[in-house]
Amino acid sequence: MNKWLRHNGFSYKKPTGVPHKFNAEQQRAFIETDGKLKQEAGDHEPILFIDGVHPTQGTKRAYGWMRKGQKTTGSRTRLNLMGALNLADISQTVVREYDRIDSYHITEFFIALRETYPVSQKVHIILDGAGYHRSKLVKDWAYVMNIDLHYLPPYSPNLNPIERLWKVMNEQVRNNHYFATTALFRQAIHRFFT
């Protein structure tokens, strides 16, 4: 059957999803603006892409050959991670865990970013339009912390490179892995980022 399928133009793959509500014109405009921002910021003003992710302890099932009897878990334990990716220097990636992701914890994350980037250095942050990213508290803290916020167009995770980091994290840590305890799960996630 595999031979017939391949011979007739089929391939074994997972289809790529496309956000159904995205606006192509807004995405093009953002890409142009992003290019200008990179030129204006130069080497002295870092540009960070930030986003939250909520990996769960439950095994993320993916296609692959496995030994019979390999365990998976259905645990609903989840971590709440906030991350910042600097494409100019990925060694300066910052990831922190919080009880939840909300406006207050975004401001705490800004403080954590300042452990890597001094307050005297302007930082540009590109992020999605989640309500807690647009709150007055977050905007006020960004101003105080010498951070310029730049929002992605709606339904445009494809424009945020940190989404690819989360994908690699899942592939390396969660896909087809069984974690007997939450502590082992948390340790594996944090080990990935060190």
pLDDT tens string, the chain, 194 residues long: the values are 778 888 888 888 776 666 667 788 989 888 888 889 988 988 899 999 999 999 988 766 656 555 666 655 556 789 999 999 999 999 999 999 999 999 999 999 999 999 999 999 999 999 999 999 999 999 999 999 999 999 999 999 999 999 999 999 999 998 878 888 899 999 999 999 98
- Number of domains comprising the chain: 1
pLDDT (0 to 100) of residue 34: 87
In a domain, 63, yes or no: no
Length of the chain in residues, anyone? 194
Give the dihedral sign, CA 75/71/179/193.
negative
In a domain, 4, yes or no: no
Helices 103-113 and 136-144, packing angle to 10 deg: 20
Up-side HSE of residue 14: CA atoms within 13 Å toward CB?
6
Domain span including residue 148: 38-58+78-192
In a domain, 135, yes or no: yes
CATH number at residue 119: 3.30.420.10
Nearest to 41 by CA among 161, 128, 125: 125
In a domain, 94, yes or no: yes
Look up the pTM and report it: 0.81
